Amino acid sequence: MDWKVYIVKCSDKTFYTGITNNIKLRLDTHNAGNGAKYTKNRLPVVLVYLESVNDKSNALKREMEIKKLNRSQKIDLINTTNLSTT
Protein backbone atom coordinates (compact mmCIF):
# COMPACT_ATOMS: atom_id res chain seq x y z
CA MET A 1 0.00 0.00 0.00
CA ASP A 2 1.28 3.44 -0.94
CA TRP A 3 1.49 5.94 1.92
CA LYS A 4 1.73 9.71 1.67
CA VAL A 5 3.48 12.22 3.90
CA TYR A 6 1.78 15.58 3.55
CA ILE A 7 1.97 19.16 4.75
CA VAL A 8 -1.08 21.38 4.84
CA LYS A 9 -1.10 25.11 5.33
CA CYS A 10 -3.67 26.20 7.90
CA SER A 11 -5.72 29.39 7.78
CA ASP A 12 -3.39 31.00 10.34
CA LYS A 13 -0.44 30.33 7.97
CA THR A 14 1.01 27.56 10.17
CA PHE A 15 1.85 24.11 8.82
CA TYR A 16 0.62 20.69 9.87
CA THR A 17 2.41 17.49 8.80
CA GLY A 18 0.78 14.07 8.72
CA ILE A 19 0.56 10.72 6.93
CA THR A 20 -2.26 8.94 5.14
CA ASN A 21 -3.00 6.25 2.61
CA ASN A 22 -5.90 8.30 1.15
CA ILE A 23 -5.00 11.97 0.72
CA LYS A 24 -8.39 13.13 -0.59
CA LEU A 25 -10.25 11.55 2.31
CA ARG A 26 -7.71 12.94 4.81
CA LEU A 27 -8.02 16.50 3.46
CA ASP A 28 -11.80 16.25 3.50
CA THR A 29 -11.63 14.99 7.10
CA HIS A 30 -9.35 17.87 8.15
CA ASN A 31 -11.58 20.46 6.46
CA ALA A 32 -14.71 18.98 8.04
CA GLY A 33 -13.14 19.68 11.45
CA ASN A 34 -12.69 15.97 12.22
CA GLY A 35 -8.96 15.67 11.51
CA ALA A 36 -6.16 16.46 13.91
CA LYS A 37 -6.82 18.59 16.99
CA TYR A 38 -4.25 21.07 15.69
CA THR A 39 -6.12 21.78 12.45
CA LYS A 40 -9.63 21.77 13.91
CA ASN A 41 -9.56 25.49 14.79
CA ARG A 42 -7.34 26.51 11.88
CA LEU A 43 -9.62 25.74 8.94
CA PRO A 44 -9.57 25.57 6.06
CA VAL A 45 -6.34 23.72 5.34
CA VAL A 46 -4.70 23.58 1.91
CA LEU A 47 -2.36 20.85 0.70
CA VAL A 48 1.10 22.33 0.00
CA TYR A 49 3.37 19.26 0.01
CA LEU A 50 2.92 15.59 -0.81
CA GLU A 51 5.51 12.82 -0.80
CA SER A 52 4.98 9.14 -1.59
CA VAL A 53 6.47 6.54 0.76
CA ASN A 54 6.38 2.78 0.27
CA ASP A 55 5.07 1.73 3.70
CA LYS A 56 3.58 3.07 6.92
CA SER A 57 6.76 2.62 8.97
CA ASN A 58 8.82 4.76 6.58
CA ALA A 59 5.98 7.29 6.35
CA LEU A 60 6.01 7.70 10.14
CA LYS A 61 9.79 8.13 10.13
CA ARG A 62 9.62 10.75 7.37
CA GLU A 63 6.79 12.56 9.16
CA MET A 64 8.99 12.87 12.28
CA GLU A 65 11.90 14.17 10.18
CA ILE A 66 9.70 16.86 8.66
CA LYS A 67 8.15 17.82 12.00
CA LYS A 68 11.66 18.49 13.35
CA LEU A 69 12.34 21.06 10.61
CA ASN A 70 11.98 24.74 11.42
CA ARG A 71 9.51 26.88 9.47
CA SER A 72 12.13 28.11 6.99
CA GLN A 73 13.27 24.56 6.25
CA LYS A 74 9.66 23.46 5.75
CA ILE A 75 9.09 26.32 3.30
CA ASP A 76 12.20 25.24 1.38
CA LEU A 77 10.88 21.66 1.26
CA ILE A 78 7.45 22.85 0.15
CA ASN A 79 9.01 24.98 -2.58
CA THR A 80 10.59 21.85 -4.11
CA THR A 81 7.12 20.82 -5.32
CA ASN A 82 4.59 22.40 -7.63
CA LEU A 83 1.92 22.35 -4.91
CA SER A 84 3.47 25.27 -3.00
CA THR A 85 1.36 28.23 -1.94
CA THR A 86 3.42 29.57 0.95
For 15, left (φ over 0), alpha (ψ -120 to 50), or beta?
Answer: beta
Domain ranges of the chain: 3-78
SS3 11: coil
Q: Look at residue 6 in the predicted model and tell me its pLDDT.
A: 98
In whole angstroms, give the CA distance from residue 48 to residue 66.
Answer: 13
pLDDT in tens, 8-44: 999 999 999 999 999 999 999 999 999 899 999 999 9
Indicate the length of the chain as a whole number. 86
In whole angstroms, give the CA distance from residue 27 to residue 18.
Answer: 11
73 φ/ψ angles, rounded to the nearest 5 degrees: -65, -35
pLDDT in tens, 34-81: 989 999 999 999 999 999 999 999 999 999 999 999 999 999 999 987
The answer, as to whether pTM is greater than 0.85, is yes
Q: Look at residue 84 in the predicted model and tell me its pLDDT.
A: 52
Q: Look at residue 1 in the predicted model and tell me its pLDDT.
A: 73
In CATH, 3-78 is 3.40.1440.10: yes
